[in-house]
Amino acid sequence: MSDIKEIHVVGGGLAGSEAAWQIANQGIPVVLHEMRGVKKTDAHITEGLAELVCSNSFRSDDHENNAVGLLHYEMRALNSLIMDAAERNRIPAGSALAVAREAFSEDVQKSLEDHPLITICREEIEHLPSAEEWDNVIIATGPLTSDALSQSILKATGEDKLAFFDAIAPIIYKETIDFEKAWFQSRYDKGDGKDYINLPLNEAQYDALIADLTDSEKADYKEWEKDTPYFDGCMPVEVMAERGHETLRFGPMKPVGLTNPHSEDQPHAVVQLRQDNALGTLYNIVGFQTKMKWGAQKEVFRKIPGLEKAEFARLGGLHRNTFINSPKLLDATLKLKSKESIRFAGQITGVEGYVESAAMGLLAGRFAAAERNSKTLSIPPIETAFGALMHHITGGADAKTFQPMNINFGLMPDIIGKNPETGRKYKKAERKVAKTVRAKEALMKWLQDNDLTQIH
């Protein structure tokens, strides 16, 4: 056992699990505290570490043209546990990286349990520890931080708690889908070409669905939830429907790139289902996160062609997410300015998405480990996905209007000048490629300058 003093990580979600892994692999003991097993949350079903409570997708794995795919690439360069476990438990999803959620969680937990420098404690941490108690701590409790710890954070920061609603999509048993109406196909035949189940709607059926979504019985609000906004990346389907009659048809229900083998008529809209487990027995409804009451969900979704006899392994739900005002409260290495023994990581910092949360856990773990080992670790360049996301939450965003953010190319500095290959201004697609090339070059230099793990 190491003689080096341990680092404490509070929260066993994606960010906390990744942080613990990164620290332990730098030769430093870690105590990972997770309250599930002692106290439940409003959204988790199991007690497993790194449980996925919303989608089972880590989104695009394309690291040539997509910002989240680039973040995948950068995390893999630093031996990310989350990315490795996702790859081991990958299931078909076109160009996206989707996982069998239970197997993924079990994989992450076993990796952490088997590591000789990691101790997992099932207990609720109710207050921010003082430097005398724990001198190096990462808070990665995510959007479902307990009330007691939330109040302690409020007291320490003096900030009002920001919050938004997050919704979960239903999961359907594949055997209950009617394949005389449904068919397998990826949009534009990407990936394996047959990674999604498609359900076609004509114009009348689409109009009826929109009416049902807007008129359905919704989950009740608590008094303090009435003014809480939704995050666009996980917005309830009925809220999207209320934003305009065509919103869904130009969003998750767009009919382009698909050919219905059962009919010569082009669908007016298409509902897609994505595989949710390795066996391929469960499928979730893409983009159909919902706050409708369970009875209403069954009634409305069974009107979709192909789902008339659908049975649900899980119905959708709604919970409130919380995050701190990171641009005001955190320094460039994710430390709490008013309490420098503490770092924050994951969704509680105001990043949105599984990958982004894990990435912040990875970086928080690396910074905490470097500090414990009396080493200096420079901030990732803003040209990288790592650096762009960190810069956004630690000062790049306006603290007065700060809201959760996914990684995107807009967070990176623009490409200046003309495309040397064409001699003309960069087109949108060309700019993405150029930013990706620049990011990878900047990442490699950062890795070399800091003597970090190289890409393998």
Sequential DSSP letters for 289-316: -B-B-HHHHHHHHTTSTT-TT--EEE--
Q: Say whether 335 sits in a helix, a strand or coil.
A: strand
Confidence of residue 147 (pLDDT cuts 50, 70, 90): confident
Give CA–CA dist 240/292, Å, rounded.
13
Q: Is the pLDDT of residue 1 over 70?
A: no
State the average pLDDT over residues 181-207: 93
Write down all domains in the chain, each with its CATH number in brackets: 7-161+324-449 (3.50.50.60), 167-320 (2.40.30)
Q: What is the mean pLDDT of the chain?
A: 91
13 annotated binding-site participant = yes
Q: Is the pLDDT of residue 113 over 80?
A: yes
* Distances in whole angstroms, Cα of residue 170 to Cα of each of 99, 274, 376: 16, 11, 46
State the average pLDDT over residues 160-188: 88
Confidence of residue 166 (pLDDT cuts 50, 70, 90): confident
- Residue 224 has a pLDDT of 47
- Residue 223 has a pLDDT of 56
Q: Are 105 and 46 in contact (CB under 8 A)?
A: yes
- In the DSSP assignment, the letter for residue 189 is G
Name the pairing type of β-strands 137-139 and 171-173: unpaired
50 annotated binding-site participant = no
State the average pLDDT over residues 389-402: 90
- Residue 221 has a pLDDT of 58
Side-chain-side CA neighbours of residue 354 (13 Å): 24
State the average pLDDT over residues 360-367: 98
Of residues 430 and 261, more confidence is placed in 261
Confidence of residue 218 (pLDDT cuts 50, 70, 90): confident
16 annotated binding-site participant = yes
Alpha helix positions (H), 47-172: 67-77, 81-88, 101-114, 147-157
12 annotated binding-site participant = yes
Residue 160, token pair as written in the block:
């009002």
Q: Is the pLDDT of residue 7 over 60?
A: yes
- Residue 411 has a pLDDT of 92
- Residue 129 CB contacts under 8 Å (≥ 6 apart), including other chains: 8, 137, 341, 342
Q: Is the pLDDT of residue 342 over 70?
A: yes
- Residue 456 has a pLDDT of 38
Q: Is the pLDDT of residue 125 over 50?
A: yes
280 annotated binding-site participant = no
251 annotated binding-site participant = no
- Residue 219 has a pLDDT of 66
- Residue 453 has a pLDDT of 64
Q: Are 19 and 142 in contact (CB under 8 A)?
A: no
Sign of CA dihedral 129, 133, 139, 141: negative
